[in-house]
Structure 1
Amino acid sequence: MEKLEFIAPCHFGLEAVLKREIQDLGYEISAVEDGRVSFYGDINAVCRANIFLRTAERVLLKAGQFKAVSFEELFEKTRAIPWEKYIPKNGKFWVAKAASVKSKLFSPSDIQSIMKKAMVKRLQEKYRVEWFPEDGASYPVRVFLMKDIVTVGIDTSGISLHKRGYREVSGKAPITETLAAALILLTPWKKDRILVDPFCGSGTFPIEAAMMAANIAPGMNRSFMAEEWTDLVPKKGWYEAIDEANDLICDDIETDIQGYDLDGDVIKIARRNAREAGVDHLIHFQERDVKDLRHPKKYGFIITNPPYGERLEDKKDLPALYKAFGESFGRLDSWSAYMITSYEDAERYFGRKADKNRKIYNGMLKTYFYQFQGPKPPRRPREE
């Protein structure tokens, strides 16, 4: 089967997590760059990567890469890409997004328009037609320009992969599913350890953790753009990937995953989302204030996304909120806490300096993932 190259964009700062995921699926990494990881695979990788990757934003089939410093060069080199390999005569194609960093060509709308013209020209020559009905499957193209290097990919995912299909309604300041999954994977948490999110909102952290614990693939309950590409991606590939995902599920496990929030309406939403994700039996949600955070067991984990105070009127409440959170954490013997926040005084009011922190961009918002590490639990004696 032909070896193809794919590009998986991700949140800035989380490339290493995605790289490990791709390798765990058995694919060879070709490049790791800011905000994306590229890898090699066969055509079935379209199906498996979309269904199994927890931390990628989408999966692009790489169509070409070249240098361009003028629009003429951009046109000719886009035209040189063998578009007929991917797009059938009735395919609907357009340049959905163009992004340019430190490049001579920087106008997204001009880049999109010129590349579309070049694609049309190439396909007119290959299919010997003057006009395309564009009434078939969709082939949206995404383009990144970095220091005059143009990378061209066809989007196989469609709707971003963070839309798992379980979260129709979100609470305030939601964290995306892909970011939540990546942050959990950055911690040493395992399914046999306690996990509590005291600011759970619509339940994203507990739900993503429960899906990992039960080995439920994140893309099982949604559809993808490339499912329509029957000329390129065999239907059999999708069936086999779903069968593989179903065989791996193990949801009759015991877990201790809990989500608390002060807002009872948001807790109802979290319960509904967990039900949609098929993990409601693995999570305990409760209306509870962070100051009432207690747990009798040792060596637990807190992974959370506390309020940032993005609105000015909320800023005044933050010192008391982070102080209450820090005091509750201080009472939890031997626990570890991980929080993502853009609040600059988080450590000061939490009352402890983080053992590690990591800068992560949540969209355009610069945030820090603070890591307060507790002791490791003692090793269990081996059974004779």
Structure 2
Amino acid sequence: MSDQHTFIATTAFGLEAVVKRELIALGYEPRSTSPGWVEFDGDLSAIARTNMWLRTADRVLIKVASFQATDFETLFETTKSVDWKKWLPPNARFPVDGRSHKSQLTSVPANQRAVKKAIVEAMLAQHQISTLPEDGPLYRCQIALLNDEATLTIDTTGPSLHKRGYREFAGGAPIKETLASAMVQLSFWHKEKPFLDPFCGSGTIAIEAAMLGRNMAPGLQREFAAGQ
């Protein structure tokens, strides 16, 4: 692999600017923004740093390839042409998730099947093996189509980043920790000032404010897919 890679930090719609600000604070310059995600470049250490420190992102993905695809043949052949040997070992487990929005390839299950088959054929040829045992480490792949642009990614996060690991029990209608942190950041609260949440429920907003004020990494108490 080269030293530099392109990553995608996914987030809830409307929070892209907050994620961009967090990335800049970590030393990464965002290169582009789309609804629900922010692209940025970094070396492999960015996987650990962003998963550990991003407070408002949902997950961090490695961008493997991006191309126009309006038919299954293009989707299949272009996916097959990717150097998957660079990303996946011969025994990798690689389920394929998918989503499609405003694209001609509207069937997500069909897109997933096409991409899975293409990766299998590419892996067999590139690793020069006859079977794929898929009994090794997990690499969760995704095919996302937006306006007929297909983006292939590999997840580095695992369970969504809102699962901080500090909460044993959740209330009846808990607010996501990522959204709570975004609310604190958008309020421009400063750690030297008092923080009050009179309707705190299970205390998520106050907890996120305390972690922000004490500069505690939100991912300190959990594991990530890239580390397993």
Classify the TM-score, shorter chain.
over 0.9
Q: RMSD value over aligned CA atoms?
A: 1.0
Aligned residue for 2:59, secondary structure, equals coil
8 Å CA contact 2:76, 2:115 repeated in 1? yes
1:167 aligned onto 2:167: yes
Distance 1:103 1:168 in 2: 40
Q: Please state whether the residue corresponding to 2:31 is helix, strand or coil.
A: strand
Matched with 2:106 is: 106
* Kept in 2: contact 1:172–1:201 (CA 8 A): no
Whose RCO is larger (CA < 8 A, sep 6+)?
Answer: 2
- Aligned pair count reads 227
The one-letter code matched in structure 1 to 2:103 is: S
Q: What letter matches 1:77 in structure 2?
A: T
Q: Which amino acid aligns with 1:193?
A: K
Contact 2:115 2:143 in 1 (8 A): no
Letter in 2 for 1:138: L
Tell me, which stretches of 5 or more residues in structure 1 are unaligned?
229-384
* Secondary structure in 2 matching 1:139: coil
Q: What CA deviation, in whole Å up to 9, does each residue of 1:52-111 have, x standing for no partner? A: 11011000000000010111111001111111111111111121x211111000111111
1:60 matched to 2:61? The reply is: yes
Once the two structures are TM-superposed, the CA of residue 143 in structure 1 deviates from its matched residue by: 2.2
1:218 partner amino acid: P
Which stretches of structure 1, 4 residues or longer, exceed 2 Å deviation after superposition? none
The within-5 A match list for 1:212-231 is: 212-228=212-228
**Deviation per CA, 1:282-333, whole angstroms, max 9, x where unpaired?**
xxxxxxxxxxxxxxxxxxxxxxxxxxxxxxxxxxxxxxxxxxxxxxxxxxxx
Which amino acid in structure 2 is aligned with residue 186 of structure 1? L
Q: Partners of 2:162 and 2:194 in 1: how far apart?
A: 25
**Contact between 1:7 and 1:62, CA under 8 Å: does it hold in 2?**
yes
Aligned counterpart, 2:183:
183
* 1:89 paired to 2:90: yes
Q: Distance in 2 between matches of 1:135 and 1:49?
A: 28
CA distance in 1, matches of 2:58, 2:220: 15
Written as runs of structure 1 = structure 2, the 5 A alignment for 1:260-275 is: none
CA shift digits 1:138-170 (9 cap, x unpaired): 000122211100111100001111000012321
Instruction: Find the residue that maps to 1:32 and give its secondary structure.
Output: strand
Deviation at 1:20, TM superposition (A): 0.6
- Amino acid corresponding to residue 4 of structure 2 in structure 1: K
Which residue of the partner structure matches residue 207 of structure 2?
207
Structure 1, residues 163-212: CA drift from partner, whole Å, max 9, x if none?
00012321122110011111111112011111111221211101000001
**Structure 1 SS opposite 2:157:** coil
Paired letter, 2:196: V
Aligned sequence identity (%) = 48
Q: Which residue of 1 aligns with 2:120?
A: 120
Displacement of 1:136: 1.1
Q: Distance in 1 between matches of 2:73 and 2:168?
A: 44
Corresponding residue of 1:155? 155
How far did 1:11 drift?
0.9
Which residue of structure 2 aligns with residue 22 of structure 1?
23
Q: Give the TM-score of the pair, scaled to structure 2.
A: 0.97
Question: Aligned partners of 2:192, 2:28: CA distance in 1, in Å?
Answer: 28
- 1:163·1:177 contact (CA, 8 Å) conserved in 2? yes
Q: Counterpart in 2 of 1:74? A: 75
